[in-house]
């Protein structure tokens, strides 16, 4: 398949949601304009059974290059997930078993197919890095390690933070960038895409490509979706995830709960909404109207027009037609790191066992979405429905 060299399309692929390009944006643009077909990959470790809208930013980037006619690969890090990426972690990850990893990745392809096409004339390829890492010999690992120094590893921000706090750093965590970096060599790629939090790991692959294969590898980093309240990237830990396999009603409701400041960022990074429409969305006077438009677009993107319309109708019925009282009781809590169980106790549920029972029975909703996990984080502004009539709004002091 001959790739497109349309300048406007290439420039959008090199700018939308993009933070940096290595070695330079100009070098990558020239390669794309040359008509050479590039082999491009995105790697995701199955540390959870869900892909979410944070992953979507890089998946959409991969999709844009696929539409330009380049060869794209989605690499599942079923081996590297056993090590655990130390990026942004203030403590060593708990290792996952092979069974947990297999269960987590069971629907990965189905979720990714909401964005990237695995069929048709330029179908994406699915790969697993256990294919080569399971066969790697110790002498080969030593060869990879010779390309890096302890100083390079220890200078990483999260390791420096742990050292200052007296927290341990596992030797295996130093090996993670080597393993991820070697993926580029095993796949023999021309380019890797990923979030800015993966820059160190992706550049490790660039180093290995040069030393082992004498080949340049482009690296394109995507901006992260950052929660405007916590300043942290969207994650399960922060309770701010919108999963690609969330039910339409849940996806719509979770989108309506995001901070107003995130509206244009979610639209740009996690949907295919044209940039001109996103600019108009950002200029909308009423944040509620803008959020309704975003929630509809996000749900439509992953479930289609019909399901998005149903989800919108359901949300309006629940939150705009008096099913939520106008004067919701405010629940003022000291901490910004709130867990669902703590919220229920503060709201007046008599015991932790009673709170857990309500959660298990699906009697608790947050912003219209059923919540069953007692440890799920909650945020300032969330509206919690307990049972049939009790509503509280979380206000963090």
The DSSP call for residue 314 is H
Q: What gap in Å lies between CA 16 and CA 57, rounded to an integer? A: 9
Nearest partner of 381 among 224, 246, 262, 245, judged by Cα: 262
Query: At 153, is the secondary structure helix, strand, or coil?
Result: helix
Indicate the fold that domain 324-397 takes in CATH: 3.10.290
pLDDT value for 239:
46
pLDDT value for 238:
44
Q: What is the CA radius of gyration of the chain?
A: 22
Residue environment code for 196-227, b if the CB has 16+ CB neighbours within 10 A, otherwise e: ebbbbbbbbbbbbbeeeeeeebbbbbbbbbbb
pLDDT value for 97:
83
The rounded Cα 31 to chain-centroid distance in angstroms is 28
Is the Cβ–Cβ distance between 110 and 80 less than 8 Å?
A: no
Two structure tokens written together for 114: 């909401």
The rounded Cα 121 to chain-centroid distance in angstroms is 28
Per-residue pLDDT for the chain (397 aa), expressed as one digit of tens each?
789 999 999 999 999 999 999 999 999 999 999 999 999 999 999 988 999 999 999 999 999 999 999 999 999 999 998 887 666 555 566 677 888 899 999 999 999 999 999 999 999 999 999 999 999 999 999 999 999 988 888 888 778 888 888 888 888 888 888 999 999 999 999 999 999 999 999 999 999 999 999 999 999 999 998 865 556 665 554 445 799 999 999 899 889 888 888 899 999 999 999 999 999 998 888 888 999 999 999 999 999 999 999 999 988 887 765 455 656 778 887 765 678 888 888 888 888 888 898 998 888 888 777 888 888 877 777 788 888 778 888 876 5
The contacts found for 271-277 with CB under 8 angstroms, 24 or more apart, are 271/56, 271/60, 271/297, 271/298, 271/301, 272/60, 272/301, 273/297, 275/12, 275/16
pLDDT value for 258:
84
Q: What gap in Å lies between CA 18 and CA 39, rounded to an integer? A: 18
Burial of 164 (0-12, 13-18, 19+ CB in 10 A): exposed
Residue 337: phi and psi, rounded to 5, are -105, 80
Longest Cα–Cα distance in the chain: 68
Residue 44 β-bridge partners:
76
Q: Which class is 246-323 in CATH?
A: mainly alpha
Q: Which class is 7-222 in CATH?
A: alpha beta
pLDDT value for 340:
87
Sorted by where each begins, the domain ranges of the chain are 7-222, 246-323, 324-397
Is the Cβ–Cβ distance between 347 and 390 less than 8 Å?
A: yes
Nearest partner of 395 among 329, 326, 332, judged by Cα: 332
């Amino acid at each position: 398949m001959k790739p497109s060299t349309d300048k406007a399309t290439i420039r959008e692929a090199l700018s939308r949601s993009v933070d940096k390009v290595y070695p330079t944006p100009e070098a990558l643009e020239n390669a794309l304009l040359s008509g050479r077909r590039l082999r491009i990959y995105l790697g995701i470790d199955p540390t959870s059974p869900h892909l979410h809208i944070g992953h979507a930013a890089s998946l959409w980037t991969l999709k844009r290059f696929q539409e330009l006619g380049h060869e794209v690969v989605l690499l599942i890090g079923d081996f590297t997930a056993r090590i655990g990426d130390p990026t942004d972690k203030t403590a060593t990850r708990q290792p996952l078993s092979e069974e947990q990893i297999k269960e987590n990745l069971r629907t990965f392809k189905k979720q990714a197919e909401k964005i990237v096409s695995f069929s048709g004339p330029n179908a994406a390829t699915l790969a697993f890095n256990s294919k080569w890492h399971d066969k790697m010999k110790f002498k080969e690992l030593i060869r990879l390690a010779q390309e890096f120094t302890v100083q390079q590893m220890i200078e990483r921000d999260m390791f420096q933070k742990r050292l200052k706090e007296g927290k341990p750093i596992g030797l295996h965590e130093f090996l993670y960038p080597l393993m991820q970096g070697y993926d580029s060599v095993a796949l023999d790629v021309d380019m890797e895409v990923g979030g800015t939090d993966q820059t160190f790991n992706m550049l490790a692959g660039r180093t290995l490509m040069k030393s082992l294969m004498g080949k340049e590898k482009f690296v394109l980093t995507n901006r992260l979706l950052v929660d405007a309240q916590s300043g942290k990237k969207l994650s399960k830990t922060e309770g701010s995830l919108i999963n690609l396999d969330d039910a339409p009603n849940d996806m719509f409701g979770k989108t309506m709960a995001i901070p107003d400041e995130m509206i244009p960022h979610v639209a740009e990074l996690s949907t295919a909404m044209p940039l001109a429409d996103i600019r108009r969305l950002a200029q909308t006077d009423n944040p509620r109207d803008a959020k309704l438009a975003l929630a509809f677009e996000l749900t439509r993107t992953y479930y289609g027009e019909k399901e998005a319309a149903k989800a919108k109708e359901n949300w309006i019925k629940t939150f705009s037609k008096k099913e939520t009282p106008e004067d919701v009781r405010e629940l003022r809590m000291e901490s910004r790191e709130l867990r669902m169980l703590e919220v229920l106790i503060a709201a007046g549920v008599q015991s932790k066992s009673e709170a857990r029972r309500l959660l298990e029975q699906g009697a608790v909703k947050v912003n219209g979405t059923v919540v069953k996990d007692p440890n799920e984080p909650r945020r300032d502004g969330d509206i919690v429905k307990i049972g049939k009539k009790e509503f509280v709004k979380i206000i963090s002091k």
